Amino acid sequence: MNAEELSPSDHRVIGRQMEIFATDPQIGSGLPLWRPAGAVIRHELEQFARELAVRTGCQEVYSPVLAKRELYERSGHWAKFSEDMFPPLDVGGDQADGDQLVLRPANCPHHALIYAAEQHSYRDLPVRYNELAPMFRAERSGVLSGLSRVRQINLDDTHVFCRSDQVADEVSLALNGILHAFDVLGIKINYLRLSRRDAGDGYLGSDQQWRHAEDQLRAALAAGAVEQSELEIHEAVGEAAFYGPKIDVQVSDTRGHEESLATVQLDFNQPERFGLAYVAADRTRQPVIMIHRGVLGAMERMVAFLLELHDGRLPLWLAPVQIVLLPVHLGSDDQVRGVAERLRRRGIRVRIDVDGSLGRRIRASRVRRDALIGVIGQTEIDQDQLAIDDPRSGRRVRMGVDAVAELVAASISSRAHEVAWPERFDGQDLAPTG
């Protein structure tokens, strides 16, 4: 699709206006370059994902993006997904000890080997590993699209290894995290879908395993934040993966198309293939249940979704530029730089724009979706104030620099969508500036 045919609300249009990402034929399709503004958004989301992982008891791990082809043959990925994987890299040429290395299509085999690196008692479980990990898909050029469909996927990926009696609690914990994160990000959930197997025979595991697993998922859907949210629960027979049932978090994009933006997936396959087990109270080895979950999922897809959902006007804490300073008089550089430094010391991302007329700079700021516009004229310099225009809330106020810094920093720290401007400041009503 040509740029002229794209909707103004398409993330590729918004991404260009906000300077989020770029593409270059020298690198190739589906391999976006994150520009500084995009890197800020991604960094904030990754930090949020890490905090959520820690809050849910995860341990952070790192694993290589390459592995021998044999690993993915053992995991089953090679047999099922080799057409979507990049071809093996021959290392060592024709030598007998040469290796065939493959860019990973998933992170779970690596995490399975981390779990297998030591023996685990039933008392050790659950074990939760989280990694913000790149993985690779050899997508065809015709299906690639901006950030929403790419060849390198940077995934917020968690794998939980637990006993069968712990599944309901672990799934409930995962869903609580997803509901909290989506609320912070302003994402509305349509419903939760329990994806079950059908009567076919192409599924791994016994009938008893499946009945128990599906019952555990139903129990998780009737507890915790899900119960309090009063979200609708739908059951979809035949939508389960061959290796276990799952819960999909269903949302709609700005075009009204429904999609799964987060999934909690049970897995009988990887533990069996890798012999993953724990030592039970009776000293026998018992297989673990593996749960795949991620709160934010792929960074690329999440950023694309959020750009379209908010038309680029992201929640304040995610905005690449949280305050842009526009001096009225271009001879006031020292004073404006001083204000910028005071704001930056409070952890606020600041940009100074002096290029062109004031009207032109305001228009450019709105196109970039800078969160707050701070105009500094002689009155503001004399009174140590900022004239703030807040496009998200529609408020226009004049306040002292330190008061603005305190309010904005507090809103960022709490990951608020916008600044909670007071109705009065210093005993006076905060009348609009213009």
Which domains are seen in the chain, by residue range? Answer: 3-65+104-309 (3.30.930.10), 316-429 (3.40.50.800)
Check pLDDT > 60 for residue 433: no
Check pLDDT > 70 for residue 227: yes
Residue 303, SS3 per DSSP:
helix
| Average per-residue pLDDT for the chain | 92
Check pLDDT > 70 for residue 2: no
Burial of 199 (0-12, 13-18, 19+ CB in 10 A): exposed
Confidence of residue 45 (pLDDT cuts 50, 70, 90): very high
* pLDDT at res. 225: 79
Confidence of residue 425 (pLDDT cuts 50, 70, 90): low
Find the range with the poorest average confidence among 21-25, 251-255, 329-333.
329-333
Taking only the tens place, the pLDDT of each residue in 177-203 is: 999 999 999 999 999 999 999 888 778
What are the backbone dihedrals phi and psi of residue 108, each rounded to the nearest 5 degrees, phi first?
A: -60, -40
Check pLDDT > 50 for residue 407: yes
Confidence of residue 244 (pLDDT cuts 50, 70, 90): confident
Q: pLDDT > 90: what percent of the chain?
A: 79
Confidence of residue 98 (pLDDT cuts 50, 70, 90): low
Which residues have CB under 8 Å from 360's CB, separation 6+?
Answer: none
Confidence of residue 93 (pLDDT cuts 50, 70, 90): low
* pLDDT at res. 246: 94
Check pLDDT > 70 for residue 390: yes
Compute the distance between CA of residue 369 and CA of residue 355 in angstroms, rounded to an integer: 17
Tally of CA atoms within 13 A in the half-sphere of 164 that contains its CB: 14
- Note if the pTM is more than 0.85: yes
Task: Tell me the two tokens of residue 247.
Answer: 């819960």
Tokens 């699709």 -> residue: 1
Find the range with the poorest average confidence among 133-137, 141-145, 408-412.
141-145
Check pLDDT > 70 for residue 95: no
Find the range with the poorest average confidence among 40-44, 48-52, 92-96, 214-218.
92-96
Confidence of residue 127 (pLDDT cuts 50, 70, 90): very high
Q: What is the mean pLDDT of residues 115-130?
A: 98
DSSP 8-state class, residue 412:
H
Check pLDDT > 90 for residue 250: yes
* CA-based nearest residue to 199, from 228, 240, 163: 240
